[in-house]
Amino acid sequence: MSRIRMGTFSVSVRKRVEFRVCPRISARGAPLLRAGAGSRAARDVFLSLGKNPDRRPAASLPTTRTCSCSRCGGGAGAYAFPLAEQGYSVHLIDPVPLHIEQAKQRAETAPAAPKDFQVGDARSLSINDATADAVLLFGPLYHLTERRDRLTALREAHRVLHPGGTLFAVAISRFASALDGIGRGRMRDPKFAQIVEQDLKTGQHRNETEEFEYFTTAFFHHPDEFLEELKEGEFSDVTLRSIEGPLWAPPEPLTPEERDRLMTIMRTIETEPTLIGSSAHIMAIARKS
């Protein structure tokens, strides 16, 4: 049985793929990192897996549709439910009890739902060694502000992957708040400017203001630092991809053809090293040797 994990998402396959999702400290998305074309691009990557092989990342999930998935930091199921609708067997894990309850409520009326729901922690997974084809970490690595905790989460993902298994992990760019502040006029606020200064120096994002849109406590990675942590977590064959790319909120495509053109360009530049840090979110795709 093979498996995959993201964030803590795990996928196992034997004519089926199993995704396990691991918990993260979750925050409601603030406009600073708002869902726009970038988030849709990320969702395209994941939700088209096994459906449109030409759109899968180089280190892709198995193409088998029947899959058991665990989503770590799965929240209320933004990715878990669509995956379940595609035929994956999803195990939803999140550290916030409220999110698990929300997911259970959604499951009552959803056409397809995760196989189970549990409160859990990406740093200590209740999953056996070498049982996942893939792991998805979509949140733990920026909500865990201490390096040792991030490395623990990465090593847990590595532990549960079988040899050759794939990790999909997301980080927030060190430059996210600076670029967002410039683009949206936030730098006019001296308090936001102070937040940006701290972000650029240390990557430790702290919002002591009453402005919810300035995001929550988090860690923002420099791309080089992200690579170092992944390698220290014992992963190899690591590729970084920009999710939003340098333009975070382009105009909404008016037609499917326009959207396809946009996605084609984004896929073309998503691994360009000189542009990785300009994306609000960065995805790493890595393998366990």
SS (H, E, C) the chain: CEEEEEEEEEEEECCCEEEEECCCCCCCCCHHHCCCHHHHHHHHHHHCCCCCHHHCCCCCCCCCCCEEEEEECCCCCCCHHHHHHCCEEEEEEECCHHHHHHHHHHHCCCCCCCCEEEECECCECCCCCCCEEEEEECCHHHHCCCHHHHHHHHHHHHHHEEEEEEEEEEEEECCHHHHHHHHHCHHHCHHHHHHHHHHHHHCEECCCCCCHHHCCCEEEECHHHHHHHHHHCCEEEEEEEECCCCCCCCCCCCCHHHHHHHHHHHHHHCCCCCCHHHCCEEEEEEEEC
Range of the domain at 26: 2-173+221-288
What is the CATH number for 83? 3.40.50.150
Structural domain contains residue 71: yes
Q: Are 30 and 37 in contact (CB under 8 A)?
A: no
pLDDT at position 70:
56
Residue 215 lies in a domain: no
Q: What angle do CA 278, 279, 285 make, to 5 degrees?
A: 120
Q: Which of 80, 79, 61, 70 is nearest to 133 (CA)?
A: 61
Residues of the chain with pLDDT below 50 are 1-60, 63-67
Quote the CA–CA distance of 180 and 165 in Å, as a whole number: 35
Instruction: Pull the structure tokens for residue 201.
Output: 């120096």
**What does the block give as tokens for 8?**
């803590």
> Cα separation of 255 and 280, whole Å?
25
Q: Please state the domain count of the chain.
A: 1
Amino acid at 125: L
User: Within a domain: residue 283?
Assistant: yes
- The span from the CA of 287 to the CA of 161, in Å, is 9
Q: For residue 28, count CB atoms less than 10 angstroms from its CB and return exposed for 0-12, middle for 13-18, buried for 19 or more.
A: exposed
Pairing status of strand 2-13 against strand 235-242: unpaired
Residues 139-178: pLDDT tens digits? Answer: 899 999 999 999 999 999 999 898 988 898 999 999 999 9
Residue 188 lies in a domain: no
Whether 28 maps to a domain, the answer reads yes
Q: What is the pLDDT of residue 27?
A: 31
Residue 242: both structure tokens together: 């920009």
In a domain, 233, yes or no: yes
pTM: 0.79
Q: Is residue 210 part of a domain?
A: no
Number of residues in the chain: 289
| Alpha carbons 213 and 230: distance in angstroms, whole number | 29
Distance CA 10, CA 227 (A): 21
- Residue type present at position 179: L
Task: Answer for the pair 41, 266: CB distance below 8 angstroms, yes or no.
Answer: yes
Record the tokens describing residue 271, joined without a space.
């691994």
Residue 252 lies inside a defined structural domain of this protein:
yes
pLDDT computed for residue 32 by the predictor: 25
